[in-house]
Amino acid sequence: MRAFLVFVLVIGLGGSFVTQFLSRSVSRPSAPEHGVILTAGSEDAERIAELKARNEPHFSSQDGSIELQRNSDGHFYADVRINGSTVHMLVDTGASIIALSRNDARSAGLATSIGMPDVVGRGADGEVHGEIVRLDNVELGPLSAEGLDAIVLNSGEQSLLGQSFLSKFSSVEIQGDRMVLR
């Protein structure tokens, strides 16, 4: 079962990487590049704050649903609280499990080994190294889940919010440039 879960995760990650590659190879005049990790600086800090403000989920008080807006890069992002720490994640409906970058795992208080020698799957570039961890708490809007498994990836900068959490919603719908989680 674990091997199947890892295989499904790798398929989801592979699809995500291909999508990111294709979205970056398409010319988009004046559109900011969102998956780029920015270094500290006043202009960069302002740009990060602007991007996060545009990706702020909107909660409906009537039914507890969460609405996310599509970024100009074609993806949906959400700020998710993991073990009390806010992590900016790509919502990946094709990923079977939550995948965290090493930095996001550290900020959420997760300890990992230095080398991460475990092979957790295979990707287009070969073996994917990382570690399987258990998350104490994952929160997005009114929904929280405890004790979810996740993978911390040895490489990569973008954390993915996969089906291990998304399946807790009764529905995940994409309508134009909106994703609605109920």
Domain boundaries, the chain: 2-25+56-181
> What's domain 2-25+56-181's superfamily in CATH?
Acid Proteases (2.40.70.10)
What tokens were used for 154? 């040895």
When the pLDDT of each residue in the chain is averaged and rounded to a whole number, the result is 74
Helix (H) or strand (E) holding 138: strand 126-140
Give percent of the chain above pLDDT 90: 44
Helix (H) or strand (E) holding 107: helix 102-107
Triad 68, 100, 23: Cα angle to 5°: 55
What's this model's pTM, rounded to 2 decimal places? 0.66
* Stronger pLDDT, 152 or 37, i.e. the higher one: 152
78 C-beta neighbours (distance < 10 Å), count? 19
Cα 6 to Cα 48, 89, 138, 147, 153, distances in angstroms: 32, 20, 20, 18, 12
| Per-residue pLDDT tens digits for 2-55 | 544 444 444 554 444 434 433 333 333 333 333 333 334 455 556 555 544 444
pLDDT value at 151 more than 70: yes
pLDDT value at 139 more than 60: yes
* Stronger pLDDT, 70 or 28, i.e. the higher one: 70
Helix (H) or strand (E) holding 20: helix 2-25
